[in-house]
Structure 1
Amino acid sequence: MKRVIFLLVALLLLAACSEKEQVTPNERFKEFASIWSKQEFDQMFNMFSTETKEKITEEESIQRYEKIYNDLSIENVHISFDELTEEELDELKKEENPSVTLPFTVEMDSFAGPISFEYEATLVQELVNEEEDEYNWFVNWDAGFIHPELVDGGEIGIETIEPVRGEILDRNQIPLAINDTVYQIGIKPEDLVNPEQAKQQIADILNIKKEKIDDALSAGWVQDDLFVPIATILPTDEAYEQVMAIPGVQRKEMTGRIYPGEEATAHLVGYIGDITAEKLEELESDEYGPNDKIGIRGLESWYEERLKGKRGVKIFIKKEDSEDVVIAEKPVENGETIQLTIDINIQEKIYNSYKDDSGTTAAIDPKTGETLALVSAPAFDPNEVLYGTSGDAWDDPNDQDPSLNRFAATFAPGSVLKPITAAAGINIGTLDPEEGFEIEGKHWSKGKGWGDYQVTRVSLSNGPVDLKDALVRSDNIYFAMQALEMGSEAFIEEFKQFGFEEDFPYEYPIPASTISSTGEINDEVLLANSSYGQGELEMSALHLATAYTVFLNGGDMLKPTLLLSEDTGQIWKEDLLSEEEVKRMQSILRAVVTDGTAKRAEEESNVPIAGKTGTVELKLSAETGGAENSWFVAYPHESPDILMAMLVEETEDKESGLAIGKFVEVINQLYPEKNDE
């Protein structure tokens, strides 16, 4: 009896072990799904049924999956399925050649967005070890596992839609950078008469090398009856009519980037150009390809991400006898249109006033902080850089480097800094505007510690020198004395209150203004020179214009803005001067024009002007003088709706008051009728 019981227990244990080791369809497809989700396609093939392996090789299977998944940037693959119940599994055990159908869902991400589909997997049981009588389940695979729409044939296609680059507009919606028609000039080889002579003619007219034409015509795809592009030019280019007169030359219209402001806005707006291999690698973005354009300078570069937009992409299955079936789509996002506070009317007038001179001007609305103009002269024509046939886009007859962006640079401000020095002294109580200083002669030194160095002023005083007299006559000695009274530590601290030695709060990269090369002032001579805008102190034109808003906004300095969407009237620095002293400063800046160094503005301007002049000597050494730069920071006294900080470089051998003259030229165009006080 015991032996019978033992045998029964043994048989039951063997049966249990055998049942435990048998792989179910649920377990097998779970394994298949796991391998699939990890994109381990070589292992996936091992789970295909014999019937499937007779239709497709391992190499074909792996390559097809890898190509499709790589091309579509497939990731995050997730497969879920409806598992068989225990009852269904028990029923399968009774079948002689069992097979089972499992509905499943696939979800994955592609570069065009999510892809999902439902399909059914048929699993068949096959003998894997005859000796052990071992069976396993295998997948009857077909193209539906890639996507059900491929079951009856078809190919996966990809369509990309390039975004339209955003435009750049001025405050009145006048375009500064737009997408417009340009001409692609090309050659139809079979129509060329005397090809070598014709190619040389074309090269001469378009100002390109003949070798460039030869290279284009020798490309592998070229045929005699095809259009071969060689250059892109503007419809207004004088070369267009000439080159089109040559037999065999044709044109195609295409969309290109146009810059209506030409030289006047070149440094501000910049331009686009071909993306380099180095830049393409640096970007690590699928939004760019080797044939794309990218912002090279100015706002085109600074706002590249916003202007560029994002390309749209569509993944579809193309069928011969029916419409394409879209399986994933990412809509195109066109670039953003950017509207500036810039007024192209003012921008062009200021640029044209420079003529053959070099320099920079920042013009702002002193009540709102909006930038009305940012000018750097000389400049280049970005249209000529992109499409020009003259070959002299970067040439300048006066050797003044048109590639240099002067409004994004800093300069010694000279005497236009004196109102800021005065405000600093008044604010800390070391400068009494009504206190007079007895100053004799044109030269002054504090004493032996200065060696042979002396501060020089341009005119003698008649009696004690107070703040008004010092600003009207632009007395360097007065301000040197005031700076020494403040001391280096207080001087630096007060100038930091005006935004020196900190990042300039602006939408476009403008360098910080600096007090010295180290941010410190360690000797009295440097302190004296710094007080009237020489020494090592430097400012940008825009910061200088911004600093003068203190005198028109109750002692607060505005934050300058460039985008029309920004809030205006924001305060950058507050309480830099009292209301009473602001009114005093306004009166003094008016007197500088009526009675002082800016009389030319009073004589020539159509409207009353208030402002301050400045001349900066760029010394080559302690003993040798160098070039001179001239500044004028000014605004209409009665209706201060524009404030300009204007710099003209190398004025030492030019007419007196050149910066004033250019300012007046612009103001008189903006205010064409004479308005006397």
Structure 2
Amino acid sequence: MFWILIPIILVIALLAAAVFFFKWKNKGPEPEKLLKTYMSYIEKQDYEKMYEMIDPDSEKKKEFLSRNENIYEGIGASDIQIKIKETKEDGAKRIVSYTTVMQSLGGEISFDNTATFQRDKDKGYVLEWTDSVIFPDLSAEDKVRIYSDEAARGQIVDRNNTVLAGTGQAWSCGLVPGKMNEDASADITKLAGLLGLTEDSIQSSLSQNWVADDSFVPLSTISMSDETLVDQLLEIPGVKLTATEVRSYPLGASASHLIGYTGSVTAEDLEKHKGEGYTSDSVIGKSGLESLYEKELRGENGYTIAIEDENGEQKSILAYREKKDGETIKLTIDASLQQSLYDQFREDEGASVAMNPYTGEVLALVSTPSYDNNAFILGISNSEWDALNNDEKKPMYNRFRQTFAPGSTLKPFTAAIGLAEGTINTNESGGSQGTSWQKDESWGSYFVTTLQGYSPVNLENALVYSDNIYFAQAALNLGAEKFTAGLEKFGFNKELPFEIRMTASQYDNDGEITDEIQLADSGYGQGEILSNPLHLASMYTAFSNNGNMLKPYLLYKDDPQSEVWISEAISPENTSLLVNDLISVVNKPEGSGYAAHRDDTTLAGKTGTAELKSEQGTQGHEIGWFSVFTTDANISKPILLVSMVDGVDGKGGSNYVVEKDAAVLDQYLQ
């Protein structure tokens, strides 16, 4: 019996051993899967997990983590794909052949490679790691070098190729430690005050590991034009100034809201633009057109990624990408007109828009007061930043993108809606002979007021004298439904099609006029009506294009062609009628825009003063407007100008704006 059991026991033991060997041999994932997992950790930058998968006998963890991080992140490795070709057994080892394709700063890198896995009794298969796992030609003594060829950032120029953003020069101010006084504490205090830095930050810069006695330690960038500051700095022992290239904005404050500025990338920028080639040393557009056209302006840096031996000799090139300089962005803007408008309104809280009324080209976009965007390039101090942000006039606020009560500049469009609906008849008188009016006693103490009486009370005179009562009645005669439908036909509550996003114009805070008094006020551009200056300019292009509203645009075209945004916003017949009335506004001595009339060319336009009252009978805060355009399509420089000043109280109302625009037109048209 015993001898019979022996063979059975042997068979069972052999079977158990086979099962144990099979389980031991196949413990954990197969090498092919392990390799893919290992490679997936590279993009996740999880080098700890990678280390856990290699030969456990390795004691060079710190070197492994540093080597992999420096190489993979240095070359900008991404989108790593591997394809297994074959797997061979070599005793207790498995050798996996595979192809790798990855993206890098220098473009695509591809290569064939092998990875060796050995069995571990506890972990299953582990990777036998050598430097060649990173790249086949890489040994422990070799280095992966990245050489960059920086692309030049593209310029922004105006229609006449005047540079609005380009390359300029400034002084890089720094210290040479070996030339400083032995006790430099007083000098550092003085230097900190001149540069707007803290003494601690200067000391920290001087304490960096690489700093030697003859090193130049850069601290700040300053304008070459500030000669007084330069002289004061050079009086301090150890201070050195070296010329350096910087982004420069020749128009400065006059175009800063339009052009914007660049700055060093932040961690948030790197995350937002991951995989786009930005590094911690990159510059990126922060606002304005610098940000809007960042992709076109920045270009693409050139890179060479190579393996070099311990003697610095090149063994192989992994990737090469030729640099591509940024594009030049040419605008329809006229730099001299932009400057002229800024000079006139620089102290006012306002905005100005200029267009060619026959093409839609935007000739100027100005917001005042303003700030100098060059300050952000040279390095703005905390005190300067605080001053900008705490200034009650809000110089950083971009007003040409916002909406404001348009006042009487809306009246021609109330008239256009009334003419289209048949509620205004130019042959009949309307309005009131007085300067104060209410519909009936249901309005209580509320009256619509206007500045002066006149006769006869008709559409032309209502526009010439800017009669609020006439247009309040016009809106009431239309009714809220027809009036607001008419405004929507002019683009209210719609996004303006333009390169820069503008706040949409509105006729009511909640989208519907339900109050009778509000409707009356809306007829002359108050109530809850808000208009964006560029949208208003687009509305006025209808008077130059047989009633069609043009789409404004900013990118220059060699052969400018107009594009209609809203067709037949006004009928051709009514357009002609209203243009004649608007000519009277500017050219009749009693007209509210007469201060801008010219003898060399005929202008048409409309003034507007929106009085925002907290309650009836109180003195209101006033917003002044002037919309004016040349009426001759054949003159060499046709122009449509819309200017707004928020705060014309005590300055003569809209006439304050008219006189300033007249000075601008004088310079532009002559």
- Give the alignment's TM-score, normalised by structure 1: 0.82
Residue in 1 that maps onto 2:436: 443
**RMSD across aligned positions (CA):** 4.0
Answer yes or no: is 1:653 the counterpart of 2:645.
no
Distance 2:481 2:390 in 1: 46
What is aligned with 1:577?
Answer: 570
Give the whole-Å Cα distance in 1 for the aligned partners of 2:625 and 2:363.
18
Do the aligned partners of 1:271 and 1:295 also contact (CA within 8 Å) in 2? yes
Contact 1:410 1:541 in 2 (8 A): yes
Secondary structure of the corresponding residue to residue 186 of structure 1 = strand
Does the 8 Å contact 1:157/1:317 carry over to 2? yes
Q: Distance in 2 between matches of 1:249 and 1:317?
A: 40
- The answer as to 2:214 corresponding to 1:222 is no
Which residue is equivalent to 2:241? 251
SS in 2 for 1:621: coil
Structure 2 residue 426 is the aligned partner of structure 1 residue 433: yes
Q: Give the AA of the match of 1:225.
A: D
Query: Distance between the aligned counterparts of 1:203 and 1:605, measured in 2?
Result: 58
| Counterpart in the other structure of 1:37 | 36
Counterpart code for 1:38: T
Partner of 1:466: 458
For the pair 1:201 / 2:190, whether they are aligned, the reply is yes
Secondary structure at 2:137 match in 1: helix
Contact 1:237 1:388 in 2 (8 A): no
Given that 2:187 and 2:236 are in contact with CA atoms closer than 8 Å, whether structure 1 keeps it comes out as yes
Distance in 1 between the 2:337 and 2:648 partners? 23
Tell me which amino acid in the other structure corresponds to 1:164.
A
Compared CA separation, residues 102 and 466, structure 1 to 2 (3 A): same
Quickly say closer, same or farther: Cα 1:443–1:59, change in 2 above 3 A: closer
Confirm whether residue 165 of structure 1 aligns to residue 150 of structure 2: no
Between 114-123 and 641-650, the greater mean CA deviation after superposition: 114-123
User: What amino acid does structure 2 have at the position aligned with 1:236?
Assistant: S
Work out whether residues 183 and 252 of structure 1, in 8 Å CA contact, stay in contact via their aligned partners in 2: yes
Provide the C-alpha distance between the structure 2 equivalents of 1:127 and 1:644, rounded to a whole number of angstroms.
Answer: 80
User: Quick one: which amino acid aligns to residue 213 of structure 2?
Assistant: D
AA paired with 2:333?
I
Answer yes or no: is 1:156 the counterpart of 2:144: yes
Question: Among residues 301, 306, 317, which one is paired with 2:307 in the alignment?
Answer: 317
Report the Cα distance in structure 1 between the residues aligned to 2:485 and 2:445, rounded to whole angstroms: 29
Retained in 1: the 8 A contact 2:246–2:377? Answer: no
Helix, strand or coil for the counterpart of 1:294?
strand
Distance of 2:436 and 2:341 partners within structure 1 = 37
1:576/1:102 CA distance change after superposition, 3 Å: same
Worse-matched range after superposition: 60-69 or 360-369: 60-69
Cα distance in 1 between the residues matched to 2:126 and 2:531: 77
The one-letter code sitting in structure 2 at the alignment partner of 1:608 is T
Contact 2:32 2:96 in 1 (8 A): no
Partner amino acid, structure 1, of 2:564: I
| SS of alignment partner, residue 314 of structure 2 | coil
Q: Which residue of 2 aligns with 1:513?
A: 505
Matched with 1:9 is none
Give the deviation of 1:358 after TM superposition: 3.1
State which of 226, 231, 238 in structure 1 corresponds to 2:220: 231
Q: Specify the code of the residue in structure 2 equivalent to 1:611.
A: G
Distance 2:520 2:130 in 1: 87
Distance 1:492 1:649 in 2: 25
Could you tell me the TM-score, scaled by structure 2's length?
Answer: 0.83
Equivalent of residue 365 in structure 1, options 335, 356, 364: 356
| Residue 472 (structure 1) shift | 1.4
Paired residue type of 1:232: T
1:665–1:316 distance in 2 versus 1, CA, 3 Å: same
Moved more, 366-375 or 296-305: 296-305
Offset of residue 474 of structure 1: 1.3
> C-alpha deviations, 1:439-469, integer Å up to 9, x for none?
2322221112211211112221223x22112
Deviation at 1:162, TM superposition (A): 4.4
2:527 pairs with 526, 532, 535, which one? 535
Aligned CA distance change for structure 1 residues 283 and 339 (closer, same or farther; 3 Å): same
Deviates more, 1:267-276 or 1:551-560: 267-276
**Cα distance in 2, alignment partners of residues 66 and 185 from structure 1:** 37
Q: In the aligned structure 1, how far is the partner of 2:99 from the partner of 2:542?
A: 65
Q: Using the TM superposition, give the Cα deviation of residue 160 of structure 1 relative to its aligned residue in structure 2, in angstroms.
A: 4.5
1:249 partner letter = V
Counterparts of 2:254 and 2:120, CA distance in 1: 82
- Structure 2: distance between partners of 1:471 and 1:137: 89
Q: Which deviates more from structure 2 when the two are superposed, residues 353-362 or residues 593-602?
A: 593-602
Structure-to-structure mapping, 1:24-423, within 5 angstroms: 31-39=30-38, 45=54, 63=65, 66-67=68-69, 68=71, 73=77, 76-81=80-85, 104-112=97-105, 113-118=107-112, 143-151=131-139, 153-193=141-181, 195-238=184-227, 239-277=229-267, 280=270, 284=274, 287-321=277-311, 322-387=313-378, 394=387, 400-423=393-416
Aligned-residue offset at 1:664: 1.1
Cα pair distance change 1:470/1:293, threshold 3 Å: same
Q: 1:314 & 1:632 partners in 2: Cα distance?
A: 57
Q: Residue 627 of structure 2: SS of its match in structure 1?
A: strand
Q: 1:512 to 1:101 in 2, by over 3 A?
A: closer
Q: Counterparts of 1:606 and 1:161 in 2: how far apart (Å)?
A: 55
Pair 1:58–1:36, CA change in 2 (3 A): farther
CA distance in 2 between partners of 1:138 and 1:520 (Å): 71
- What is the alpha-carbon distance in structure 2 between the residues aligned to residue 448 and residue 579 of structure 1? 40
After superposition, what is the alpha-carbon deviation per residue over 1:112-151, rounded to whole angstroms, capped at 9, x for unaligned?
A: 3433234578999x999xxxxxxx9999976544433225
Q: Greater CA deviation, 488-497 or 194-203?
A: 194-203
Identity of matched residues, %: 34
Task: Pick from 607, 611, 622 the counterpart of residue 617 of structure 1.
Answer: 611
For 1:189 and 1:237, locate their aligned partners in 2 and report how far apart those are by CA, in whole Å. Answer: 25
Q: State the Cα deviation string for residues 364-389 of structure 1 (Å, max 9, x = none).
A: 11111111001111111122344379
Answer yes or no: is the 8 Å Cα contact 2:593–2:607 preserved in 1. no
**1:599 & 1:358 partners in 2: Cα distance?**
21
Please tell me the residue identity of whatever aligns with 2:359: T
Give the number of the structure whose alpha-carbon radius of gyration is greater. Answer: 1
Secondary structure of 2:661 counterpart: helix
Do residues 626 (structure 1) and 623 (structure 2) align? no
The correspondence for 2:594, drawn from 600, 604, 614, is 600
Secondary structure in 2 aligned to 1:148? coil
Q: In the alignment, residue 646 of structure 1 is paired with which amino acid?
A: S
Structure 1 unaligned segments of length 5 or more: list them: 1-13, 93-97, 129-135, 673-677
CA positional deviation for 1:191: 0.9
CA drift at 1:272: 2.2
One-letter amino acid of the counterpart of residue 286, structure 2: I
| CA displacement at 1:616 relative to structure 2 | 1.5
Aligned-residue offset at 1:63: 4.6
Code of the aligned partner of 1:337: T
CA contact (8 A) 1:605 1:664 kept: no
Q: Bigger CA drift: 598-607 or 323-332?
A: 598-607
How far apart, in 1, do the equivalents of 2:353 and 2:128 lie? 74
Task: Give the Å deviation of 1:308.
Answer: 3.5
Give the partner amino acid of 1:666: V
Aligned partners of 1:316 and 1:422: how far apart in 2? 72
- For these two proteins, the number of residue pairs brought into alignment is 633
Measure, in 1, the Cα distance between the counterparts of 2:184 and 2:247.
Answer: 32
Aligned partners of 1:556 and 1:571 also within 8 Å? yes
Q: Which has the higher mean CA deviation after the structures are superposed, 435-444 or 417-426?
A: 435-444
Structure 1 residues 76 and 213, CA gap change in structure 2 (3 angstroms): closer
Q: Deviations over 1:631-651 (max 9, x none)?
A: 110012334711001112322
